[in-house]
Structures are given as structure tokens and as C-alpha cells.
């Protein structure tokens, strides 16, 4: 049962951070002149790019920490701040960084940095530290599958819900992302304090 709740928590965190509704809206804009077959190919490639990159960070994140001499608590605080900024972007419609898309490489643009951005990288490494590799891996596969389905049926979903509803859902996920970010920062600071007390 503990493993199930760990999986569900990991899955929800990844869904919130991947924000498939934002990805879907961007995907619709970039593929509006494509045929259905081309759109399907781009959706698959976008999710594949995100999957490959996130799996690399899932299994290699800790080795990277050791190589750079970075403590996990420092990474949690830094990552939490980044997640908070991303959440604010989603909620208020602000933009702290340039996100110019090359329509000739739509799959790469959607795959990274939209899906596999700093927030997703931070989250997958934090989840690996908390739950090991198997649970975050299964949660990642599940979250990316949901994202792929939403991209695949993006035109039909958008037509059914309307662009306004899709935008609202994306902003709700942004609010949840901000809450997750605050938890990351809080846990990172508490870990830092515990490490100092032990010394």
C-alpha cells in the first residue's frame, strides 16, 4: 500500500509539472498546418524526447551531484525556487525566459524545454531520492502516456472543452505546481538545518 501511494504521489507531481494542458495548447498552435499523420508523429517524438532525457536524469542525477559536489538539500531549494517561478508563469501568464519555438523542430520544442524542463528534471531527481528508481520510473511512464494521449487527441479535446477551459486547467496546474515548489523549498531548508545540527 505504501508503494501504491508513493506511485500515486509521484504520478500526480509529474502530471502537475509536465502540465500536459499547456503542452497541448502549444502543440495545437505549432501543428495547425500539419496533417493528422504528421501531428501523430510529432506527438510521439515529443514524448519520446522527454522520456529519454528524464530517464537519463532519473538514473544519473545522483552521480551528477557527486561529480559537482552539490548537496541534495541545496538542489531541492534551488529546484523549488525554479518550480515556483514556473508556477507563477502559468498562473499569471508571465514569462521569465524566452521560449521561441522553431516550427521545423516541433517535437524537440515540445519534448524539451516544454515537457522536460528544469521543473521536470528537478522533480524526477527528487522523487528518485525519496522512492528509489522503480516507482518514479513507472510514474514517469504513466504521466508521459497521459501526456501523449492528450497531444494525440489535442484538436478533438480542444474543440470539446474550448480554448478557455484548456487555459483555466493549465492555470490550476500552475497553482498546484507552486504549492509543490513551496514543499520542495521547505523540505530542502529543513534538511539543511538537520545536516548543520548533526555536525
* Grid coordinates given for 109: 520544442
pTM as predicted: 0.72
Residue-level pLDDT at 83: 67
Q: What is the mean pLDDT of the chain?
A: 81
Residue 197 has pLDDT above 80, yes or no: yes
The span from the CA of 97 to the CA of 117, in Å, is 12
- How is the chain split among helix, strand and coil, in percent rounded to 5? 85, 0, 15
Q: What are the pLDDT digits (tens) for 129-183? A: 889 999 999 999 999 999 999 999 988 887 887 777 877 776 777 777 688 778 7
Average pLDDT over residues 190-199: 82
C-alpha cell at 26: 502549444
Q: Is residue 29 over pLDDT 80?
A: no
- For residue 96, give the DSSP letter: S
Taking the domains of the chain in order of start, what are their residue ranges? 2-30+37-198
CA distance linking residue 153 with residue 146, whole number of Å: 11
Distance CA 49, CA 73 (A): 28
Amino acid at each position: 500500500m505504501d508503494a501504491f501511494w508513493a506511485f500515486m504521489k509521484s504520478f500526480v507531481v509529474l502530471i502537475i509539472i509536465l502540465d500536459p494542458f499547456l503542452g497541448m495548447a502549444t502543440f495545437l498552435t505549432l501543428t495547425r498546418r500539419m496533417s493528422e499523420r504528421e501531428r501523430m508523429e510529432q506527438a510521439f517524438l515529443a514524448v519520446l524526447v522527454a522520456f529519454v532525457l528524464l530517464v537519463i536524469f532519473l538514473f544519473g542525477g545522483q552521480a551528477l551531484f557527486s561529480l559537482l559536489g552539490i548537496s541534495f538539500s541545496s538542489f531541492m531549494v534551488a529546484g523549488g525556487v525554479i518550480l515556483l517561478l514556473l508556477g507563477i508563469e502559468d498562473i499569471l501568464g508571465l514569462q521569465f525566459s524566452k521560449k521561441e519555438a522553431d516550427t521545423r523542430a516541433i517535437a524537440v520544442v515540445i519534448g524539451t524545454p516544454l515537457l522536460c524542463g528544469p521543473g521536470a528534471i528537478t522533480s524526477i531527481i527528487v522523487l528518485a531520492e525519496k522512492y528509489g528508481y522503480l516507482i518514479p520510473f513507472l510514474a514517469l511512464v504513466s504521466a508521459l502516456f497521459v501526456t501523449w494521449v492528450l497531444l494525440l487527441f489535442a484538436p478533438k479535446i480542444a474543440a470539446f472543452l474550448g480554448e478557455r477551459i484548456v487555459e483555466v486547467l493549465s492555470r490550476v496546474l500552475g497553482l498546484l505546481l507552486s504549492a509543490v515548489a513551496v514543499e520542495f523549498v521547505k523540505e530542502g531548508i529543513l534538511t539543511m538545518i538537520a545536516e548543520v545540527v548533526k555536525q
